[in-house]
Structure 1
Amino acid sequence: MATGDLITGVVVFLLSSVCVVAVALLLASRRCRSEGGRSEEEEGRGRAVLVTGCDSGFGRHLARRLDGRGFTVFAGCLFPEGLGARSLARESSGRLRVLKLDVTQDDDVEQAKRTVQEHLPEKGLWAVVNNAGISDWAETEWSTIDRYSKMVDINLLGCIRTTIAFLPLVRASKGRMVYMSSILAFINCLNMGAYSVSKRGLEAFADCLRVETASFGVKVSIIQPGNFGQATDIVKEQTGCDIWETLDNERKLIFNREYIEVANEYFLSTSRSGSKDVNLVIDAMYHALTSPWPKYRYLLVSRLDSFFFGVYHLLPTFVSDAIYSLSPMYAKRNKMLYSKQ
């Protein structure tokens, strides 16, 4: 083929692609305008969504948002008779149903599935939002295998367990699967190893699922919040004394009491400085559930942080490690530990 013919072919292909995209955008715009006159309660009418972890935090707020937009909501709660679950039911419409759902228990998941199947609206189960999760912090040598197991069982295996059970229902409606992850799934952070392991595994699972379910018209989205410690109760506070008492004599010689107190205060102050506004996260989750073109990932941080995280994965490992070694806390850690050696 002559060079001129090749260039002409490429130009024609590019122009055709631009036209296709323009037409698609025009049709989508018209569709959005035509749907703009609907009331909020008509938006989700006939569609059901299962949300896990609705006792508090993001799950509770999302359940209320979906209920207000007309969705049939199955709100999975660890403590269905607790204050959080009862107030959620009291403040919502009759479309919201609280379910007992411990995502680490096969029996709970199977019972929840039976309940969902018995009360599905005409359009079926549109989506599952895997929101249930826990957070904890500790250096690796302070942790036990039980601590890692609990984190992984809830944050990772709990999502997998729920997905396997409910995916056939979502596939039937060509709906959505949404997963609550974290920026700590792809960045290193001092003292957050167990949490990062669970969230990195979750993203790997969601990425694989997205490729597989695309054949069935099911869309998969990952939510990656930054620091929203004040907006949820996922952070469980502890004292330096609590941590110290869990260490054996050998580790007490390495990780002295002074450092543990400083590290604990640093972690708590960082959590308390997080955003109080849940709307950024809830808006992203709602977009993932309702947009014709949901994003694969929703990175929910400031604009400056968004730029940093955008280039972070392109950095060589020695550069990304060096960034954290330059942090004041890391430098203080080295000084305090080695001064006791």
Structure 2
Amino acid sequence: MPALLVTGAGRGIGLAITEHMSRRGWDVYATARSDTALGSLERLPNVHAVALDVTDRSSIATLSDQLPAALNGVVNNAGIIVNGPVEALSIDALSQQLDVNVTAQIAVTQAVLPKIRAARGRVLFMSSVLGLITTPGTGAYCASKYAVESLADALRMELRPWQIPVSLIEPGAIRTDMWTDMLDEHDRMVARLTDQHRALYAAHLAGTRKLLGRMQKLAADPKRVVKAVDHALTSNRPKRRYLCDNTSRVQKALVGITPTAVNDAVLAAATTSK
């Protein structure tokens, strides 16, 4: 069976990918941190649960030892979202955002590339439409996805001699537990702000909360992301980028043809409550 590594497989999109590819007959090495998630993964057919904290360098150093000699694919899915106005961001939280979503994904990829090369496998990065479009209040998360886009582009060109495809999966809002909890996470972020920042950004914070509520209703089926990942792993001609829903395609097209000043005004208005 072809072998696949999926990080952040304990929930959401990572779990959906793991379940789908294991049903397709792939031998899936699925990583998670919690014992509960690892136990659930281990009960799935064709799935090998791997304990991994992607920010723990010593854990990544031993990752390769738990994998087969040849690896047909890696899906760098593990990630977090740090929200909030840039002025109010905790520097530690910003560092964690970049460590988990950027540095850790490259560290995992570096660790398994010899096994990917042995199988002439494929490398996938879970990016986002917010790696193409920046919105107010999500600067840290957008920055992490922009960085992943750039690093994946460089890696794709650098791996051409070995014919190793590198694909970016760019979903928008997807109906997973992460988006289900988005309003609660927004409220927790607001609670962590100083009184001064809550007062300064009151209109923005209220507007962002309303927009998140609307986006929850527009969230796409996770099957769209799973379908894109399946194609990137199995197609004879995998795409370099996969936009997974029509809303994201429209957003990208509109931002691409609209002057920056107009985009700024529209997005600022959309995230401000009057």
- TM-score of the two chains, using structure 1 as the length reference: 0.73
Aligned to 1:227: 173
**Matched residues, number:** 272
Aligned to 1:320: 263
Most deviating of 275-284 and 293-302: 275-284
Per-residue displacement from partner, 1:87-146 (whole Å, max 9, x unpaired)? Answer: 2322x22x31100111111111122211114xx4xxx20111000011132111221111
Most deviating of 233-242 and 273-282: 233-242
Aligned to 2:20: 65
Structure with larger Rg:
1
- Identify the match of residue 289 of structure 1 among 204, 229, 233: 233
2:32 aligned with 1:77, yes or no?
yes
Aligned to 2:67: 116
Instruction: Evaluate the alpha carbon distance shift between residue 283 and residue 144 of structure 1 in structure 2; reply closer, same or farther with a 3 A threshold.
Output: same
8 A contact 2:3–2:26 mirrored in 1? yes
Measure the CA separation in 1 of the matches of 2:220 and 2:251: 22
> 1:122-271, aligned counterparts within 5 Å?
124-228=70-174, 230-233=175-178, 237-238=184-185, 240=187, 243-247=190-194, 249=196, 251-256=197-202, 259=203, 262-263=206-207, 265-266=209-210, 268-271=212-215
1:177 is aligned with what amino acid? V
8 A contact 1:240–1:261 mirrored in 2? no
1:96 is aligned with what amino acid? V
Matched residue of 1:125: which SS?
coil
Identity of aligned residues (%): 31
- The answer to which structure, 1 or 2, has the higher relative contact order (CA under 8 A, 6+ apart) is 2
1:316 is aligned with what amino acid? P
Instruction: Evaluate the alpha carbon distance shift between residue 261 and residue 177 of structure 1 in structure 2; reply closer, same or farther with a 3 A threshold.
Output: closer
Structure 2: gaps of 5 or more residues: none
Cα drift, residue 164 of structure 1 = 0.9
2:252 aligned with 1:309, yes or no?
yes
Per-residue displacement from partner, 1:125-174 (whole Å, max 9, x unpaired)? Answer: 01110000111321112211111111111111110110111111111211
Aligned to 1:273: 217
Matched residue of 1:160: which SS?
helix
Cα drift, residue 51 of structure 1 = 0.4
Measure the CA separation in 2 of the matches of 1:284 and 1:101: 25
- Please provide the CA RMSD for this pair: 2.2
Instruction: Evaluate the alpha carbon distance shift between residue 311 and residue 239 of structure 1 in structure 2; reply closer, same or farther with a 3 A threshold.
Output: closer
Per-residue displacement from partner, 1:284-313 (whole Å, max 9, x unpaired)? Answer: 0010000000010001121x6524413533
Per-residue displacement from partner, 1:176-235 (whole Å, max 9, x unpaired)? Answer: 00000101111121210000000000000000000001111100000000111x324265
1:48 is aligned with what amino acid? A
Matched residue of 1:97: which SS?
strand
Structure 1: gaps of 5 or more residues: 1-44, 336-341
Measure the CA separation in 2 of the matches of 1:246 and 1:293: 47
